[in-house]
Structure 1
Amino acid sequence: MTSTSCAITDVIFDFCGVVLDWQCRAALEGRYPAELVDRICADDDPCGFFDYEDRMDHGELLAQVLPDVECEQGKELADIFADYIARYDDALPRMIPGMEELLGDLRKAGYGVWGLTNWSSETFHFAFEKFPQLERLLNGTVVSGVEKKFKPNADFYELALQRFGLDAGRCVFFDDTAKNVTGAENVGIRAFRFTDADQARRDLESLGLKF
């Protein structure tokens, strides 16, 4: 590691879209009509799936959200949403290419490697069950649905720093969402918008990390 006083010692990663490939469609295709899957997964979220899942990421439980799904979207879509949550591992088809190697290289080089994710307390376990290598690749993870704090709010980053015993100025954070990158920068963490593992390596090298 570099010897300057502001040398990076720890790297914090978002999960979905950074470490893991998350695809709502992957959990629905082949089980429901293609046109219905297209509607559920449309960018403008006409069926509300992304909004309902966001509520769960913020700490609500399925039992709290599901009545609203049925009231607003009807019983058929409520049943599909419940099925989607029950089989959430199907929405996690793979790790993002190159990320297992990147996290492993950072650990071998002596850097702390951490997770900070907006994710439901009821579905987060699927990540470690489907990809058990995460247990050895990450020193620890803070989950919004458990803590009822979430990105991009400052208190969620600050909780992670306190929980992990980290100095914001010696950390770098990767997220695929711009507002979450800004949220990290607002608490003094250097941060990058994630595009792929190769770019993340270049970003880390630009800060002097050697791994």
Structure 2
Amino acid sequence: MAVPPTITDVVFDFCGVLVDWQCRAALDGHYPKELVDAIVAPDDPYGFFDYEDRMDGGMLLADILPMVQADHGQDIADVFAYYIAHYGDALPSMVPGMETLLTDLRAAGIRTWGLTNWSSETFHFAFERFPVLQGLLEDTVVSGVERLHKPDAAIYELAQARFGLDPGHTLFLDDTARNVEGARTVGWHALRFHDAAQVRADLEDLHVLEGNEERP
């Protein structure tokens, strides 16, 4: 039987892992339902996710809005600008069980960190909405600030250097498969996140947490 690695550090993605992100929550009640349905659909004709992804890579809203206007007109550009200005409304809650999990990891002597694809102009909403996170994470690397982007190796290597991580003793959790693979390419252990119960069981299997029951 393989001996599990000794994990000293756990690095967390944010959206879909620590915090719930719902684009619709920022737009419902402010724009027609048909328009909101189109924006949040997987085949969104207005490309909100693509514009957000560019902001996650370091572009600023002032650079993006002319693109939206050119592609889809002023009305859609105004919707996108409203969405970014009210981004905190798209963060309705922390992911259930994750505050407790972070607390338990820190109590067990495990260092906890953040590594997120997020715009430099909207990331502040995460800590404003959920200030407990700032206390439970020792530091966070934000793609839009660094102008780097998961799953590129450079952003993991930057986090590794900044946090003082030993890759063989580092575990990364992300809900996106390509980001998990990106972490593995730089030698980190990495797991795809589904929910707090699943990751708690994985951590127990790795002897990072020893049989703790999830508290309410």
TM over 0.5: yes
**2:148 corresponds to:** 149
**2:84 corresponds to:** 85
**1:169 corresponds to:** 168
Instruction: Report how far residue 104 of structure 1 moved.
Output: 0.8
Tell me, in whole angstroms, the C-alpha distance in 1 between the residues paired with 2:58 and 2:30: 28
**1:51 corresponds to:** 50
Tell me, in whole angstroms, the C-alpha distance in 2 between the residues paired with 1:171 and 1:93: 29
Runs of 4+ in structure 1 deviating by more than 4 angstroms, as ranges, are: none
Tell me, in whole angstroms, the C-alpha distance in 1 between the residues paired with 2:194 and 2:140: 21
**1:62 corresponds to:** 61
Tell me, in whole angstroms, the C-alpha distance in 1 between the residues paired with 2:154 and 2:56: 16
Tell me, in whole angstroms, the C-alpha distance in 1 between the residues paired with 2:172 and 2:10: 6
Instruction: Report how far residue 208 of structure 1 moved.
Output: 1.5
- Letter of the structure 2 residue corresponding to residue 52 of structure 1: Y
**2:32 corresponds to:** 33
- Letter of the structure 1 residue corresponding to residue 97 of structure 2: G
- Letter of the structure 2 residue corresponding to residue 22 of structure 1: W
- Letter of the structure 2 residue corresponding to residue 119 of structure 1: W
**1:18 corresponds to:** 17
- Letter of the structure 1 residue corresponding to residue 33 of structure 2: A
SS in 2 for 1:53: helix
**2:105 corresponds to:** 106
SS in 1 for 2:46: coil
Instruction: Report how far residue 46 of structure 1 moved.
Output: 1.1
- Letter of the structure 2 residue corresponding to residue 61 of structure 1: L
Please, what is the CA RMSD of the aligned residues? 1.1
Tell me, in whole angstroms, the C-alpha distance in 1 between the residues paired with 2:135 and 2:70: 43
**Matched residues, percent identical?**
65
- Letter of the structure 2 residue corresponding to residue 19 of structure 1: L
Cα deviation code 1:96-137 (max 9, x no counterpart): 000011011101111000000000000000000110101111
Tell me, in whole angstroms, the C-alpha distance in 1 between the residues paired with 2:56 and 2:131: 22
Tell me, in whole angstroms, the C-alpha distance in 1 between the residues paired with 2:49 and 2:209: 38
SS in 1 for 2:171: strand
How many correspondences in the alignment?
A: 208
Tell me, in whole angstroms, the C-alpha distance in 2 between the residues paired with 1:197 and 1:210: 13
Tell me, in whole angstroms, the C-alpha distance in 2 between the residues paired with 1:115 and 1:104: 14
Q: TM-score, normalised by structure 2?
A: 0.94
**2:201 corresponds to:** 202
- Letter of the structure 1 residue corresponding to residue 192 of structure 2: R
- Letter of the structure 1 residue corresponding to residue 12 of structure 2: F
Instruction: Report how far residue 6 of structure 1 moved.
Output: 4.1
Instruction: Report how far residue 45 of structure 1 moved.
Output: 2.2
SS in 2 for 1:133: helix
**2:213 corresponds to:** none
Tell me, in whole angstroms, the C-alpha distance in 2 between the residues paired with 1:130 and 1:54: 21
